[in-house]
Structure 1
Amino acid sequence: MRRRSLLFAAVPAGLVTLAGCNDDTSGSGKAGASPSASASSVPPPKIVDGPLPAITAGTKFGEKPTVAKGSGDPSKNLAVRTVIAGSGRTVAENDFIQANYLGQIWATGKVFDNSYDRKTPLVMQLAQGSLIDGWRYGLAGRKTGSRVEMAVPPALGYGTSGNPQGGIKGTDTLVFVVDLIDSFNSKSSSKGKVVVQSDATVPKVGTNTDGKAPSIKIPKADPPKKLVSAYVLEGDGPEVKANQAILCQFQGLVWDSGKTFEATYGSGRLSQISLEQMQQVVKGLAEGVTGKKVGSRVLVVVPPDLAYGDNPPSGGPVKKGSTLVFSVDILAAM
């Protein structure tokens, strides 16, 4: 299992939104220490320009930065500056962000966490209770492609309890450099290259990229007996690994009836799916997504023995022996 971020939980439990499973799109999780108590309802903090330590090396977007130790006393307010201005989409609260970051302690310059060395960007919802409030307030309104530096006072970090696992005291101001790579919301779609769908024995999936649910046309024929996994839109991101989770839009239909039993499109939310957890629920969906590229839309047809078999969720359109059809937009992997 890859190492998780020290301060931000990568994948909470129960992230699968399929029938019969728990749903959690909040992005909250089980890090070594929870976000600060400032996630309760308090007025937005005052944001100031500084002081902020100098970035002395790794000054380009995407490079691991080296940051000087803080000089003098930090501000009691949240200090934020855009070091490199991006030109991408403006990040809003409740969006999911994909970012690389480095965090260190103001007074000592000690680095307590960074994603650059893990070579796996953080994917997290910019929402109350999901991550420390310094990030929530400091990154909202910034554009993707930007590098942002922040000095986060204790009240907007880990409060008076600090974070012992990270060596953070309750009086420590935290300094972050954040490279905002991308952002996603409930209107996001995969943007990959259209792949010709020539197999008339499997469903044909729409290729629209406007955030709306793609059409799924199921042929009037017997379903395949083996798992089908095929690109509809092929992205250019890294291949998804079996021990990762994905941030996605998806919809699931029953082959025989064509009825939708679960979907994120039009729901105002995205789904985070742990593939390891999905192995215990709908094994074929986990297998069908594994190895596919981030940024893709994937058709997955799951035969009963790799789905719910003779034990479907009660009260829904999924019956005993149902073959399931999924369209999955893989927006990010974590």
Structure 2
Amino acid sequence: MRRRSLLLAAVPAGLVTLAGCGDDKSDSSKAAASPSASASVSAAPPPKIVDGPLPAITAGTKFGEKPTVAKGTGDPSEKLAVKTVIAGGGRTIAENDFIQANYLGQIWSTAKVFDNSYDRHRPLLMQLAQGSIIDGWRYALAGKKVGSRVEIAVPPTWGYGKAGNPQAGIKGTDTLVFVIDLIDAFNSKSSSKGKPVEQLVAQGGATLPKVGTNTDGAAPKITVPKSDPPKKLVSEYVLEGDGAELKADQAILCQFKGVVWDGGKTFEQTYDSGRLSQFSLEQMQQAVKGLAQGLTGKKVGSRVMIVVPPDLGYGDTPPAGGAVKKGSTLVFSVDILAAM
């Protein structure tokens, strides 16, 4: 991958955890117990999945409500217990998809809650892939539908292993109970589903690029005019979503395509690559400042066209060996799929 490429600046799948994206009041021990695979066992064979035993959900029983879960009764199964509490009607989740979910996790034997996303009001956004999330989630959620509430009991083998997670008070013998609300899922074929808006043809005396409005997961066509680029940052909706506006401290999951103004050559994109890009806007400020600024305040679910002048892009130090040269103006089409 080229030096200082956009994807190199992106956070690799699974590294944007609750610790990195929660609010400043998040407890560090809770963040350490998120479903990140940092302490999980990845070499274990696939578990046998059974339907119980599982403790009762005694309050907060609706999808999206913070649940209260009873203490486990008796000994938990040595297998992975999985139950669909509420069946959703969305698309089926596959391994390697990114999932957006709210969840609560507690210890079987004590009912001690070690983490939950409901109180943070920022759902988890993570890839359902080996090395990105604990294996209990990976095996339990593959095949479930978006809109479902799923309860699982994860033995140590498919959780945090014999080492447990001491910082969170999880011992190496603890079975963990999770209630998970599956809000959405995304893969490399996902694209914005926002509504097309009339695109500006000029701004500040400069003619603007035109971006395609297809929503089939294929790369949108970016048509760059054969004229001088605008000297200031441009950020405009192509498809306007109905999600919340992005804040500068959030991380996003997106599809994107970047071209240089002179000649319109693509220098990097996620489309047709088999992957998505996941990065924090704060980190992007250090790589392509104009991209971070152009995305801040835009709605989740949108496609945004951003024209980045050299002083807010790579300036005089472009990635080596690529289409971006010194002083290049960059044009991006970004599908904001989700935020955390």
Identify whether the pair has TM-score above 0.5, normalized to the shorter chain. Answer: yes
2:161 to 155, 159, 162: 159
Confirm or deny that 1:333 pairs with 2:335. no
Match of 1:18 in 2: 6
Distance 1:281 1:26 in 2: 18
Q: Which structure 2 residues correspond to residues 197-236 of structure 1 after superposition, within 5 A?
A: 197-200=199-202, 201-236=207-242
Letter of the 2:254 partner, please give it: C
Letter of the 2:13 partner, please give it: S
Confirm or deny that 1:74 pairs with 2:72. no
Match of 2:27 in 1: none
2:41 to 38, 41, 60: 38
Letter of the 1:234 partner, please give it: E
**Aligned-partner SS, 2:157:** helix
Match of 1:27 in 2: 14
Q: What is the TM-score with the length of structure 1 in the denominator?
A: 0.92
Output the aligned Cα RMSD.
1.5
Letter of the 1:179 partner, please give it: D
Distance 2:185 2:46 in 1: 22
| CA displacement 1:74-97 (0-9 Å, x = unmatched) | 000000000000010100000000
Residue 160 to residue 29, structure 1, CA distance change in 2 (3 Å) = farther
Native 8 Å contact 1:25 1:270 kept in 2 = no
**Aligned-partner SS, 2:139:** helix
2:288 to 282, 301, 308: 282
Question: 1:309, CA displacement in angstroms?
Answer: 1.0
**Aligned-partner SS, 1:327:** strand
The gaps in structure 2 that reach 5 residues or longer are 20-31
Confirm or deny that 1:272 pairs with 2:260. no
Distance 2:161 2:241 in 1: 41
**Aligned-partner SS, 1:285:** helix
Letter of the 2:42 partner, please give it: A
- Aligned pair count reads 317
Match of 2:26 in 1: none
Native 8 Å contact 1:35 1:157 kept in 2 = no
Letter of the 2:142 partner, please give it: A
**Aligned-partner SS, 1:286:** helix
Match of 1:13 in 2: none
Percent pairwise identity = 77
**Aligned-partner SS, 1:79:** strand
Native 8 Å contact 2:11 2:280 kept in 1 = no
Match of 1:5 in 2: none
Residue 120 to residue 23, structure 1, CA distance change in 2 (3 Å) = closer
Q: Which structure 2 residues correspond to residues 1-334 of structure 1 after superposition, within 5 A?
A: 18=6, 21-22=8-9, 25-28=12-15, 32=32, 34-40=37-43, 42-200=44-202, 201-334=207-340
